[in-house]
Amino acid sequence: MKTVLITGSTSGIGLGIAKEFAAAGYSIMFNGLEPNGADIAREVGETFKVKTDYSPANLLKTDQIREMVAQAEKNLGPVDVLVNNAGVQFVAPVDEFPEEKWHFILGVNLNAVFFTSQAVWASMKSRNFGRIINISSAHGLVASEFKSAYVAAKHGVTGLTKVLALEGGPYKITCNAICPGYVRTPLVEGQIKDQAKVHGLSEDKVISDIMLKQHAIKEFVPVESIGKLAVFLASDAGAQITGASLPMEAGWTAR
């Protein structure tokens, strides 16, 4: 059975993706900073009767990224599918954007995508198979005010996805990005509060007038849908999709 490594999979979208891969029978390497990460990995493994393991690697540290990949290979087998999902957000106008937050957001949302992909690359090449799936955002395609670092990082992921697709092509390694609209996860709960402060609005107004206003379909995107698209991209049927940044954003970027 194939092995998938999913960064940031002990919360939100990553956990939803992990459950879809578990339902498809994959062995799963979990990662994330949640203190109950090991329990989450064990529970998913028991529920779906698949092998799981957990690494608390901090993706800002390249040595920890490489240790996480080595741990996955040792305990579950070579990484066939990498889902670069971990991400962080900070919302502020340009003139107030703290320098350390800029580096932090670029570090997790862009640099770690490169270094984790690099850590699995030689093994994928040698096996002539690989799937890299980057969880980007509608903000990898279009911009919003007050999200300079996040939008820059996600647009960077769009470009990196294309380069990995081109370099991976000869080795049957595909690389794609999924670009979700708003998904109601802990990350978005935090943004609702931050945006309420920045815009001086109630939290309900932020949801209806700022977030879902962008969607043609006025609903949050379900994590299960993102997980099912990721499983499809990892499958044989997804073999010819590469270099794409696929919107799953309820029509946001149609306008």
245 forms beta bridges with: 177
Containing H/E element for 3? strand 3-6
Distance CA 137, CA 146 (A): 15
Minimum CB–partner distance for residue 163 and ligand NAD (Å): 19
Q: Which of 23, 38, 60, 92 binds ligand NAD (CB under 6 A)?
A: 60
Q: Report residue 124 as tokens.
A: 């994928």
Name the helix (H) or strand (E) containing 6: strand 3-6
Largest CA distance in the chain: 54
Pick the piece of the chain touching ligand NAD (CB under 6 A) from 57-65, 70-78, 92-100, 163-171. 57-65
Closest CB 130 distance from ligand NAD, rounded Å: 20
Which residue stretch of 28-36, 72-80, 160-168, 236-244 sits at the interface with ligand NAD (rule: CB under 6 A)? 28-36
Active site residues: 150
Using the contact rule CB under 6 A, the part of the chain among 85-93, 118-126, 160-168, 228-236 near ligand NAD is: 85-93
Distance CA 112, CA 28 (A): 19
Q: Which is nearer to ligand NAD, 36 or 239 (CB)?
A: 36
DSSP, collapsed to helix, strand or coil, labels residue 86 as: coil
Of 32, 130, 168, 247, the residue at the interface with ligand NAD (CB under 6 A) is 32
Residue 31 or 52: the one with the smaller Cβ distance to ligand NAD is: 31
Measured in whole angstroms, the distance separating CA 206 from the mean position of its chain's CA atoms is 24
Asked if 6 interacts with ligand NAD (CB under 6 A), we say: no
Q: Which of residues 194-253 bind ligand NAD (CB under 6 A)?
A: none
Query: Nearest-5° angle of CA 152, CA 154, CA 157?
Result: 110
Long-range contacts of 58-67 (CB under 8 A, 24+ apart): 58/33, 59/7, 59/8, 59/31, 59/86, 59/107, 59/108, 59/112, 59/115, 59/116, 60/104, 60/107, 60/108, 60/111, 60/112, 62/115, 65/112, 65/115, 65/116, 65/119, 66/119
Q: How far is the CB of 143 from ligand NAD (least distance, A)?
A: 14
Near ligand NAD in 129-188, by CB under 6 A? 135, 137, 180, 182-183, 185-188
Segment interacting with ligand NAD (CB under 6 A) among 32-40, 68-76, 169-177, 230-238: 32-40
For the CB of residue 213, give the shortest distance to ligand NAD in the complex, in Å: 14
**Residue numbers of the site for ligand NAD (CB under 6 A)?**
7-8, 10-14, 31-34, 58-60, 85-88, 108, 135, 137, 180, 182-183, 185-188
